[in-house]
Amino acid sequence: MTEVEARSATNRLHDQLEAIVEVLRRHEDDLLPAASQAQLRQQLDELHPADIAFILESLPLDERLAVWQLVKADRDGEILLEVSDAVRESLIADMDRHEILAAAETLDADELADLVEDLPTAMLPELMAGLDAQQREQVQSALSYEDDQLGALMDFEMVTIREDVSLEVVLRYLRRFDELPAQTDKLFVINHDNLLTGVLPLHWLLVNSPDKMVSEVMAPDVNTFHPTDDAYEVAQAFERYDLVTAPVVDERSHLIGRITIDAMVDVIREEGESEALSRGGLREEEDIFASVWASLKNRWSWLAVNLVTAFVASRVIGLFEDSIQKLVALATLMPIVAGIGGNSGNQTITMIVRALALNQITAESAKRLWRKELTVSLLNGLMWGGVIGIVAWLLYDSVSLGLVMTAAMTLNLLLAAFAGVGIPVLMTKFGRDPALGSSVLITAMTDSGGFFIFLGLATIFLV
């Protein structure tokens, strides 16, 4: 029995990374000597697969592969499950057919289904042939759902019991297991037809008298999901009701699998991340040590979209070149009008996208929101537009230029509010995720719109 470490678990990991990096760096250009290899191998053996995944993700490609070679082959599978997609690709590319098959053998059906998409397609027949009939069916079932459906995340390992036995019998039954499936916090009660009739939380099994029957103690589980449910909505339910596991049933209430909190935590994190990546203009999560070529591919599509919108805005300015030539202050002031519109529009859209993601907007409330956002924009426009208008007046000694500036800012903020509510609501109506891309759309509108409004007003009133 070792003593419990008084040291907190949060500091451990980065230290381990530093220690491993140090061993690797000591032999920068040469092969690692056998002694260092043995030392590293031992260090790695003691680590949790998720920690090894963290370390692999934190290393540049050459060092990453050096470490990967030192990991015991029977742990390859669980580590591949933990690393990010980009890093997984780089590891699999380094493995030969036998290594991949050996790694796959250590995994459950649902884990295998996660991995299959990243394996060379040519290997699939061989891989499937190595499974027994039930596993094969489970892998195929998991693969038959979309990535964002619950069915793709289901787990098939679970403990089921009958309702016509006593808790004593259940306790004895559980003692026959070597271990219970990870995260098990409740047992599923099914009848002879595999129909789910209720659940028995382990807590209730423990606090109730062993003489009681399962049917007396169990509860009908109202938190039951379908494999076609949207994974993110289920994750919200897990968060809302503090669930650890939940049964997944088909439309006739047959129990087909279960879903666990760790899969749902991943979904919650990924949802936040895909929004952050899209806002940041990245197509997908990027291995920080990706090759230059992989990075370029990941970033080109958004840069191209941005160039197109910038080009459109530039052509809008081009329409007013005569006015700018006559009054060059317009060129100086126009980015302010465009910028504040984009900023304000993004504020509105951020709030609306959040509310839509939580399903909190009804048809009735959309109207109210529009009214509120337009009012906020009007006040912001008069206030900040007024400030900048006065500054423009003082800088260029022209009251009318100041007035045009104030008017243009107010109008662009109103456009931003209108589009800030309208774009995400419309995207949702057409079945698209408003978190992805709506920020680019509104910025494009407030840029081109801002230039058009400001230069248009200036052409009418000033030039």
Site for a copy of itself, residues 330 to 359, rule: CB under 8 A: 330-336, 338-340, 343-344, 346-347, 349-352, 354-355, 358-359
Q: How far is the CB of 110 from a copy of itself (least distance, A)?
A: 14
Binding flags for a copy of itself, 193-232, as an x/- string (CB under 8 A): ---xxx---xx-xxxxx-----x----xxxxxxx--xx--
Site for a copy of itself (CB under 8 A): which residue of 105, 193, 262, 284? 262
Interface of this chain with a copy of itself, residues 442 to 461, rule: CB under 8 A: 447, 451
Interface of this chain with a copy of itself, residues 144 to 173, rule: CB under 8 A: 171
What is the C-alpha separation between 389 and 142, in angstroms, rounded?
A: 60
What letter represents residue 279's amino acid? R
* Structure token digits, residue 228: 């076609």
Q: How far is the CB of 123 from a copy of itself (least distance, A)?
A: 28
Contacting range for a copy of itself; rule: CB under 8 A; set: 29-37, 93-101, 179-187, 426-434: 179-187
- Asked whether 127 and 143 are in contact (CB, 8 A), the reply is no
Measured between its terminal Cα atoms, the distance across the chain in Å is 87
Residue 299 interacting with a copy of itself (CB under 8 A): yes
Count other Cβ atoms within 10 Å, centred on residue 334.
24
Residue 286 interacting with a copy of itself (CB under 8 A): yes
- From residue 207, how far is each of 185, 201, 212, 244 by CA, in Å? 14, 10, 11, 19
Residue 318 interacting with a copy of itself (CB under 8 A): yes
Site for a copy of itself (CB under 8 A): which residue of 42, 69, 144, 325? 325
Q: In what order do the strands lie in the sheet with 196-201?
A: 160-161, 186-190, 196-201
Residue 78 interacting with a copy of itself (CB under 8 A): no
Rounded to the nearest 10°, the torsion over CA 130, 134, 140, 146 is -130
Site for a copy of itself (CB under 8 A): which residue of 29, 30, 132, 364? 364
Contacting range for a copy of itself; rule: CB under 8 A; set: 33-41, 67-75, 97-105, 235-243: 235-243
Residue 54 interacting with a copy of itself (CB under 8 A): yes
Task: Find all residues with CB under 8 Å of 135, minimum gap 6, and list them.
Answer: 109, 112
Task: Find all residues with CB under 8 Å of 227, minimum gap 6, and list them.
Answer: 145, 149, 150, 151, 154, 248, 250, 256, 257
Q: How far is the CB of 201 from a copy of itself (least distance, A)?
A: 9
Give the binding-site size for a copy of itself (rule: CB under 8 A).
153
Q: How far is the CB of 455 from a copy of itself (least distance, A)?
A: 10
What is the C-alpha separation between 452 and 47, in angstroms, rounded?
A: 60
Residue 69 interacting with a copy of itself (CB under 8 A): no
Rounded (5°) CA angle 305-308-313: 125
Q: How far is the CB of 139 from a copy of itself (least distance, A)?
A: 22
